[in-house]
């Protein structure tokens, strides 16, 4: 009697497909149907390839969602709230950087079988990375507006960091966001070199060396330049 009551008590209450509320809430039926079945695969490593890419897309979706809200907080002068979300967003990029190495479990020769079924699929069409490109500039603009509003330059902010603790913290998170993206690119570049080589072209005709050049690109150059200026200023004061 007691057992039956417990069973009923914990019966699923959410709408949608799935035996349990876990499956219904997380929509696991749909999620787990998003990868090729063994019968559909050209090579068994397609599951590894799809899992790594699909989960990267999810983490990038979350990262950009947090950056957009953080930008709204910066505009409203709510720096602590922005800082909290930017920490989470940078952690997302760290996660996808770590997991990219899962693809090094594929043999370069066997990957050629996977590559044949990718069509013209290219990372340049990654919705997650295109979102990174979209949400990053407004974050930079909102930050610079605040710095200007305080009557400061970035260099002055760094020199007087203790007087502007939160704004300084925000500046450091912007540089961290930028740095984490660069580090992802560096790891991705080495992965690509390791799997298909550094002197070949990608599925959309892009030479792999272009990926190497992208590693040097930064989204917040003023924040990096400020370091040079601080070093020059310190030398003047010596
Ligand atoms: C075996 C694994 C991989 C190979 C061989 C590979 C190869 C390439 C190549 C050759 C390009 C240049 C564009 C092209 O012609 O396609 C590229 C770009 C790109 N790939 Fe991958 N990739 C791999 C894994 C990944 C993963 C796991 C992601 C995660 C989302 C990813 C995201 C990107 C992005 C965002 C770009 C655009 C370049 C950038 O903005 O830095 N790739 N990839």
Residues 22, 51: one domain?
Answer: no
Residues 129, 202: one domain?
Answer: yes
pLDDT of residue 204: 83
Q: Is the dihedral of CA 101, 102, 105, 106 positive or negative?
A: negative
Residue 76 maps to a domain? yes
Query: Atom 4 in ligand 1: which residue has the minimum CA distance?
Result: 192
The answer to whether the CB of 117 falls within 8 A of the CB of 36 is: no
Residues 182, 89: one domain?
Answer: yes
Compute the distance between CA of residue 237 and CA of residue 145 in angstroms, rounded to an integer: 29
Residue 63 maps to a domain? yes
Ligand 1-lining residues (CB < 6 angstroms): 52-53, 56, 100, 103, 111, 122-124, 126, 129, 185, 188, 191-192, 195-196, 202-204, 206, 208, 211, 214
Ligand 1 atom closest to the CA of 121, numbered from 1: 16
Residues 92, 18: one domain?
Answer: no
Compute the distance between CA of residue 139 and CA of residue 93 in angstroms, rounded to an integer: 16
Residues 11, 87: one domain?
Answer: no
pLDDT of residue 12: 95
Residues 77, 99: one domain?
Answer: yes
Query: Atom 5 in ligand 1: which residue has the minimum CA distance?
Result: 192
The answer to whether the CB of 226 falls within 8 A of the CB of 154 is: yes
pLDDT of residue 6: 72
Compute the distance between CA of residue 64 and CA of residue 57 in angstroms, rounded to an integer: 11
pLDDT of residue 141: 98
Residues 67, 22: one domain?
Answer: no
CA-to-CA separations, 156 to 11, 75, 140, 166, in angstroms, rounded: 61, 21, 17, 14
Query: Which has the closest alpha carbon to 139: 97, 165, 175, 184?
Result: 175
Residues 24, 103: one domain?
Answer: no
Q: Which of 58, 123, 182, 200 to mutate to test the pocket of ligand 1 (most atoms within 8 A of CB)?
A: 123
Residue 40 maps to a domain? no
Distance 222 CA to ligand 1 centre (A): 27
Residue 181 maps to a domain? yes
- What DSSP designation does 76 have? T
Burial class (CB in 10 A: 0-12, 13-18, 19+), 220: buried
Compute the distance between CA of residue 154 and CA of residue 144 in angstroms, rounded to an integer: 8
Residues 14, 73: one domain?
Answer: no
pTM: 0.95
Residues 122, 149: one domain?
Answer: yes
Distance 96 CA to ligand 1 centre (A): 13
Extract the tokens encoding 158. Answer: 């760094």
Residues 72, 159: one domain?
Answer: yes
Query: Atom 41 in ligand 1: which residue has the minimum CA distance?
Result: 185
Residue 140 maps to a domain? yes
Residues 75, 183: one domain?
Answer: yes
The answer to whether the CB of 136 falls within 8 A of the CB of 67 is: yes
The answer to whether the CB of 70 falls within 8 A of the CB of 85 is: yes
pLDDT of residue 202: 87
pLDDT of residue 73: 98
Mean pLDDT for back-to-back runs of 10 residues, the chain (238 residues): 68 94 97 98 98 98 98 98 98 98 97 95 96 98 97 97 96 98 98 95 89 94 97 92
Residue 169 maps to a domain? yes
pLDDT of residue 4: 60
| Number of domains into which the chain is organized | 2
Q: Looking at residue 142, which CATH number applies to its domain?
A: 1.20.58.480
Extract the tokens encoding 39. Answer: 């019968």
Structural domain including 125 reads: 45-237
Please state whether 100 falls in left (phi above 0), alpha (psi between -120 and 50) or beta. alpha
């Amino acid at each position: 009697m007691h057992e039956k009551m417990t069973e009923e008590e914990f019966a699923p209450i959410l709408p949608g497909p799935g035996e349990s509320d876990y499956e219904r809430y997380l929509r696991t039926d749909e999620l787990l149907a998003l990868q090729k079945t063994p019968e559909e695969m050209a090579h068994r490593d397609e599951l590894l390839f799809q899992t790594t890419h699909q989960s990267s897309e999810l983490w990038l979706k979350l990262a950009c969602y947090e950056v957009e809200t953080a930008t709204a907080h910066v505009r409203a002068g709510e720096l602590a709230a922005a800082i909290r979300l930017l920490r989470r967003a940078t952690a997302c990029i760290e996660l996808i950087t770590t997991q990219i190495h899962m693809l090094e479990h594929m043999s370069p020769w066997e990957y050629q079988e996977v590559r044949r079924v990718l069509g013209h699929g290219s990372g340049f069409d990654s919705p997650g990375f295109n979102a990174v490109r979209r949400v990053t500039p407004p974050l930079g603009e909102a930050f610079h507006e605040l710095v200007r509003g305080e009557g400061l330059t970035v260099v002055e902010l760094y020199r007087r960091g203790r007087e502007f603790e939160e704004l300084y913290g925000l500046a450091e998170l912007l540089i961290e966001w930028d740095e984490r993206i660069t580090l992802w690119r560096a790891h991705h570049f080495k992965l690509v070199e390791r799997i298909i080589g550094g002197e070949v072209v990608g599925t959309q005709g892009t030479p792999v060396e272009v990926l190497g050049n992208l590693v040097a690109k930064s989204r917040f150059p003023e924040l990096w330049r400020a370091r040079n200026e601080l070093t020059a200023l310190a030398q003047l004061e010596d």
